[in-house]
A and B are shown apart, each in its own frame.
Chain A
Amino acid sequence: MVELLIKNGFVFDPINGINGEKMDIAIKNGKIVEKVTRKAQLIDATGLTVMPGGVDIHTHIAGGEVNTGRIVRPEDHVKDVVSKTATTRSGTGYSIPSTFVTGYRYSKMGYTTVMNPSMAPLEAKHTHEELNDIPLLDKASYPLIGDWWFVLEYLRKGDLEGCARHVAWMMDITKGYAIKIVNPGGLESWGFGHNVHSIDDQVPNFCITPREIIVGLAKVNKMLNLPHSIHLHTNNLGLPGNYVTTLETMKALESVPYEGRPVGHITHLQFSSFGGDGWGNMKSAAEEISSYINAHNHMTFDMGQVIFTDTTTMTADGPFEFTLYQLSGHKWVNSDVETETSGGIIPFHYKKNNAVNATQWSIGLELALLIKDPWKMFMTTDHPNGGPFFAYPRILAWLMSKKAREATLKKCHKKAQKKSLLPSIDRELSLYELAIMTRAGQAKALGLKNKGHLGVGADADIAIYNINPETTDIARKYKSVRRAFKHAAYTIKDGQIVVKDGEVVGNVSGRTMWLDVQTAEPCRIDDEMRNKFKEYWTVEYDNYPVTDHYVKVKDPIIVKASV
């Protein structure tokens, strides 16, 4: 195996408290080591910024929903085509890139680990087949569990232990990484075209409330010692006035013991922080949300930032996509999955001169800047819902430069400008804080011990950017910094150089991670359960699990549960 030595770079490694010190990083056998021999290949990083490889906690890149988005939108691909080269496959891009292009584009930005947050268990094989075709990245997927009939029935009975064993089994058979909950109760209601409108509404036919589902699964998550907390898409997402629901959800989760580790992660928080009571007076509730978050430590969040572009919204939240359909009349996909979840797709163009879109753009940045602790709030666009992931460098520019924010804000709709809190916020994030929001914080929240840092023993997943923190005032020169983040000088994956000067030069498959949760007493698959399975699904029990055949490079993570 090749040895590598990255010499003399400015290293930002927040987990180990390293803030821009000039250091060497040694790599051997795909891991970071103390030192290497003199034969090691040298990378001269003098005047460059060295960070751990980027980690994305929430990005829709693979699976049935994503692929249906591809099929439905040829007009989206035709404007962004990618040719075959000697090292790379061809494909198409824009808001829902083909699998290979997804891998290349993430890698070009210095990302090395991404999390696919929405996997219908019944279609998990499809997700994994696609993940196998996404090169250069380590990947994992979160199965959708919040409206799964078995879980609803266990929680209604109050049988948390049974539920925990069941979820452990679920993680194994879907090769999943975390408990994903989307609009709990709402998706089951959507089966007959209804929805729930608060966390205390009854879910039809199941005698349970969203509150009981959220808190129940958070407790289950604790019992199983899963590395990540529950990953939650709140009720009423995307509707004016929904910040009240978001606050209630966070308060409900206070009842789960904190014990030093977050009990929940609310994803794409921007979409859950709307004030007002209709689209006419929809406004930001970033102040209310962020002041609660600044006073509490039991949760983490990601932005779900909006980019002004033509993109594709896709979520398991079928009823929300139906709302968007009613608003836009655009082509609309709904895809309910028996016994488990639902889903929907609507193409969407976020426009600066639309008051609601511009306010959404503002809310995302307000939240990221008003939440004081960068370890709580991570950068995402909820790709492709807020915008495609390759727009991340633009978000970084807005976060680190008031000048960049002002340049965009002044082109926004007058109403949105007037309501925006951004002019009152002077905070400009440092490279250290950005490193937390784009890798260290995300890896920590995900419980990925070998990622998001550059300590000895960590995976040699490294990004080197052409930014000299000593000579560059990043807040003023935000355009050049944006360019640097768009085209990494080097991306190193598992100790191999895969990107150089913004071009893909190497080929590494990347691993698929999943949880092998070991419970004291395993989930019993008896005849009763098999019969229930036959009643609930239209596939046989034997054909349901994702077998090893579906994972190209395997990386199971063993978790010892306390049940």
Chain B
Amino acid sequence: MSIVKSVTCPICGCLCDDIELTVENNEVVKVKNGCAICESKFIGYRGEHRIKTPLMRKNGKLVPVSMNEAVHAAAEVLANSTYPILYGWSSTSSEAQRVGVELTEEVGGIMDNTAVVCHGPSILGVQEVGIPTCTLGQIRHRADLIIYWGCDPWSAHPRHLERYTSFTEGRFEKSEWKAYMQKLKAQAGQKKMQSAMRIESGRTQLRPQTCSIPGMPQTMSKDGRKLIVIDVRKTMSAEMADYYIQVEPNKDYELMQALRVLVRDGELDVDKVAGVPVEYLKQVADALVNCEFGVIFFGMGLTQTAGKFRNVEVAISLVRDLNMRTKFSIMPMRGHFNVTGANVVSAWQTGYPYGVDFSLGYPRYNPGETTCMDVLLREENDASLVIAADPGANFPKKAIENMVKHPLIVIDPHMNATSMLGDIVFPSAFVGIEVEGTAYRMDHVPLPLKKVVEPPKGILSDEEILTKILAQVKLIKSKKTAKKAEA
């Protein structure tokens, strides 16, 4: 039995790196410090869905083949295609992503990552107006106003609050954990009192609202760090917030523009914006302007609802305006543990963060034309390689139908929706559990991923599989050029 400390968790963009694992007989048996998702991955990753050997579709069925045969077949597919899509990359190491860019360049394809279906619009917004941001520790030490907009950290990034924002102890700002616990206790007490009163009086009516709008307090006065959650529904995170603002669906853009007007000392001649009374918005604007250091975290509630990248652009513009009055930052809540890395690696090698088209021999980038989704919906693809993502489970039907019309290579540890549709399937080792590597946190801080157990026998890492395919593609191509030269 051995204990491995300071392990980085390969799940979400938080990249908590304080996980302590107990390893026994090449198996993780105990997880300390992690959230529920973390624990289930480290303990449950071995499961029954693990692919054990390379597979190829023969007579309509996936049958086991040798690694060599699979590599040769995959290289043939890629080398002979004219417009292949190489998609995924967000749940693997930046080392593998580097090889991926080279492979895509070699075959003249599309290099795209999962940002295209999550925070791609954030990148477009950033390309319009820039982004005032910071690393997460800066928020821990300094932020006295924390806003989550269109995201639910308590469910999707469970330790975000505890490690980086409201419930951490910083140099200049203290943790709100105790205050929150007291609030919980008080609420529980209140509930008990009310139910006791109900039983006593035999009445069944709901308790009276403290505010005309559910969940909205009358003033924004509170000492210490303030936590505001803005969302269309009352999520778990909203329950914990000091202030919750319920925005009407698809009205985030209006709400933010209204806040911009107020922050710039303008007047609004309506009573409500996006379902929120202007009187209340004025208090929110005051809180924004009067904080020492504020931050907005946003999720797919902004990027994938009406307005898309315009929502992000206006959110950043609000933060730009606020910086004229105080210090303010903004940050996207990135999902997959290394989707940020996929953007970062692609950018340093090509200049562009996602949706890069190599078909002309140099990198080209024009979302709306060059992302894998654009190509799939135009039916221009003639082969695909999917790695470290599962588009079969979450892409639009038409896109995935077009993908499977042509040869599909899948590299994944699991038999997921995409691998079941694949023609050539490579099993890979888990990055951050069975192989080491590097991942980038949502604030672009790089962290090492550890190898804590040995991968199953014969299972290679993403990087190794890609390197083998790349070498074989180069060989096929050089033979082709030699033949041409002879002719």
Q: Is B309 an interface residue (CB 8 A)?
A: no
CA distance A126 to B341 in the complex (A): 10
Interface: A258 (CB within 8 A): no
Interface residues of B in 396-423 (CB under 8 A from A): none
- B134, CB-defined interface residue at 8 Å: yes
**Which residues A69-95 have CB closer than 8 A to chain B?**
70-74, 77-78, 81-84, 89-92
B347 touches A91 (CB 8 A): no
Of B134, B320, B361, which one neighbours A90 at CB under 8 angstroms?
Answer: B361
* Nearest chain A CB to B368 CB, angstrom units: 12
> By the criterion CB–CB under 8 Å, are B350 and A542 in contact?
no
- Could you tell me if A91 and B350 are in contact, using CB atoms closer than 8 angstroms? yes
Quick one: which of A325-356 are within 8 Å of B by CB? 325-326, 330-339, 342, 345-346
Q: Is the CB of B349 within 8 A of A332?
A: no
Cβ contacts A172-202/B at 8 Å (1 or 0 each): 0000000000000000000111000000000
Q: Residue A528 at the B interface, CB < 8 A?
A: no
> Are B127 and A98 in contact, CB atoms less than 8 angstroms apart?
no
Within 8 Å of chain B (Cβ to Cβ): is A24? no
For B339-377 the 0/1 string (1 means CB < 8 A from A) is 000011001111111000010111111000000000000
- Pair B446/A125 contact, Cβ less than 8 Å: yes
A172 to chain B, nearest CB (A): 17
| CB interface residues, B 441-458, toward A, < 8 Å | 444-448
Q: Which of B105, B133, B344, B349 contacts A334 (CB under 8 A)?
A: B133
Distance in angstroms between the alpha carbons of A327 and B169 in the assembled complex: 37
The chain B residue sitting closest to A94, CB to CB, is: B351
Q: Kindly list chain B residues whose C-beta atoms are within 8 Å of the C-beta of A332.
A: 129-130, 132, 320
Instruction: Say which residue of A92, A126, A133 sits within 8 Å of B352 (CB atoms).
Output: A92
Closest Cβ–Cβ distance, residue A104 to chain B (whole Å): 13
Chain A residue at smallest Cβ distance from B447: A543
Q: Give CA–CA (A74, B123) in the complex, Å.
A: 11
In angstroms, Cα B5 to Cα A540, docked, is 10
CB nearest neighbor in B for A540: B6
A291 at the interface (CB under 8 A from B): no
User: Is there a chain B Cβ closer than 8 Å to A68's Cβ?
Assistant: yes
Contact B448 A92 (CB under 8 A): no
Chain A residues whose CB sits within 8 angstroms of the CB of B352 once the complex forms: 70-71, 74, 77, 92
Interface-forming stretch among B215-223, B257-265, B321-329?
Answer: B321-329
Q: Which of B44-52, B135-143, B379-387 contacts A (4 or more CB under 8 A)?
A: B135-143
Across the interface, name the chain A residue whose C-beta is closest to B358. A90
Specify which chain A residues have a CB less than 8 angstroms from the CB of B172 in the assembled complex.
Answer: 205
Render A103-126 as a binary contact track against B, CB cut-off 8 A, 1 for contact.
000000000000000000011011
Residues of A within 8 A of B344 (CB): 67, 126
- The CA-CA distance from A536 to B137 in the complex, in Å, is 8
Rounded to whole Å, the gap between the CB of B5 and the closest CB of chain A is 7
B438–A125 CB distance below 8 A: yes
Known pairs A77-B352, A338-B136; A123 contacts B361 (CB<8 A):
no
Contact A335 B137 (CB under 8 A): no
Fill in one digit per residue for A22-53: 1 if any B CB lies within 8 Å of its CB, else 0: 00000000000000000000000000000000
CA distance A402 to B435 in the complex (A): 60
Chain A residues bordering chain B, tally (CB within 8 A): 63
Indicate whether A71 sits within 8 Å of B127 (C-beta atoms), given known contacts A129-B438, A338-B138, A543-B8.
Answer: yes
For residue B102, CB closer than 8 A to chain A, the reply is yes
CB-CB under 8 A from A425, the residues of chain B are none
> When the two chains form their complex, are residues B127 and A542 in contact, meaning their CB atoms are under 8 A apart?
no
Question: Given the complex, which residues of A lie within 8 Å of B351, measured CB to CB?
Answer: 70, 74, 77, 91-92, 96-98
Q: Which one of A122, A130, A334 lies within 8 Å of B348 (CB-CB)?
A: A130
Q: Is there a chain A Cβ closer than 8 Å to B83's Cβ?
A: no
Q: B5-44, CB under 8 A of A: which get 1 and which 0?
A: 1101000000001100000000000000000000000000
Q: Is A381 an interface residue (CB 8 A)?
A: no
CB within 8 Å for A90 and B135 given contacts A72-B127, A538-B163: no
Binding site for B on A (CB under 8 A): 62, 64, 67-68, 70-74, 77-78, 81-84, 89-92, 96-100, 122-123, 125-126, 129-130, 133, 191-193, 205, 322, 325-326, 330-339, 342, 345-346, 535-543, 547, 549-550
Q: A67-B344, A126-B444, A337-B138 are in contact. List 11 more A-B contacts (CB 8 A).
A: A70-B347, A74-B351, A74-B365, A77-B363, A125-B446, A192-B293, A205-B172, A330-B130, A336-B329, A538-B164, A539-B17
21 pairs, A vs B, C-beta closer than 8 Å: A72-B127, A72-B131, A73-B127, A77-B365, A83-B360, A90-B358, A91-B351, A92-B363, A98-B348, A99-B348, A125-B438, A129-B438, A191-B327, A325-B320, A331-B129, A331-B130, A333-B130, A334-B132, A334-B329, A342-B134, A540-B17
